[in-house]
Amino acid sequence: MTHTKKGEETRALCTSEYSDISPLKDGNVAFGTLEGRPSAYNFDSSPELQEWVTATEIMFTLDRLNTFGDEVFGDNQVLKSYFYAISDIAVGARCKCNGHASECITSTGVDGSKRRVCKCEHNTAGPDCNECLPFYNDAPWGRATAQNAHECKRKSIFIY
């Protein structure tokens, strides 16, 4: 397994581990965004790593078929007999709520599309719970961690 060093945790880890000729069928390719990264065990305290694992619009590209060298014969019919086949794609995900939500809820947009959004807590708001509610700005907004919820607190206003 490939690893990164502290300070290089957002470097892409490339491997040819899944590029072997076998298995010819029923193979499995896995990608873990945190695998091999030292701060993975302290994920809540690493904004850099939290940003690294944030993904939208995931795209898979199938770049090259293994034709077992048949291209040297120049027979297009033989080459057309090769194909890609994917039986299942599983993507594990969660909402990016900056630690200020314990659940995601389904929301319907103005165009009728459904998406998962944060159910913000700690007096936060915004698509990623990335700001304090109005009048809850006694301290600057902060990402919640296991040690500190960084709850937005109501600003005290004294009228004389």
pLDDT tens digits in sequence order for the chain, 160 residues long: 667 777 777 887 777 777 777 777 777 777 788 888 888 888 777 888 888 888 878 888 887 787 888 888 888 888 888 888 888 888 887 888 999 999 999 988 889 988 889 999 999 999 899 999 999 988 899 999 888 999 999 987 766 6
Give domain limits for the chain: 1-93, 95-154
Specify whether the CB–CB gap between 100 and 144 falls below 8 A. Answer: yes
pLDDT in tens, 17-54: 777 777 777 777 777 888 888 888 887 778 888 888 88
What one-character DSSP code corresponds to residue 24? S
- Measured CA to CA, the distance from residue 151 to residue 149 in angstroms comes to 5
Specify whether the CB–CB gap between 34 and 53 falls below 8 A. Answer: yes
At 1 the pLDDT is 63
Terminal-residue alpha carbon distance, the chain: 66
Residue 49 CB neighbours (<10 A):
20
| Tokens encoding 87 | 């039986």
What one-character DSSP code corresponds to residue 102? S
At 119 the pLDDT is 96
Which residues are registered as beta bridge partners of 104? 118
Residue 71 CB neighbours (<10 A):
13
- Measured CA to CA, the distance from residue 152 to residue 133 in angstroms comes to 8
Question: Dihedral of the CA atoms 118, 121, 123, 126 (nearest 10)?
Answer: -10
Q: Is 72 helix (H, G, I), strand (E, B) or coil?
A: helix
Specify whether the CB–CB gap between 143 and 44 falls below 8 A. Answer: no
At 158 the pLDDT is 67
The domain defined by 95-154 carries CATH number 2.10.25.10: yes
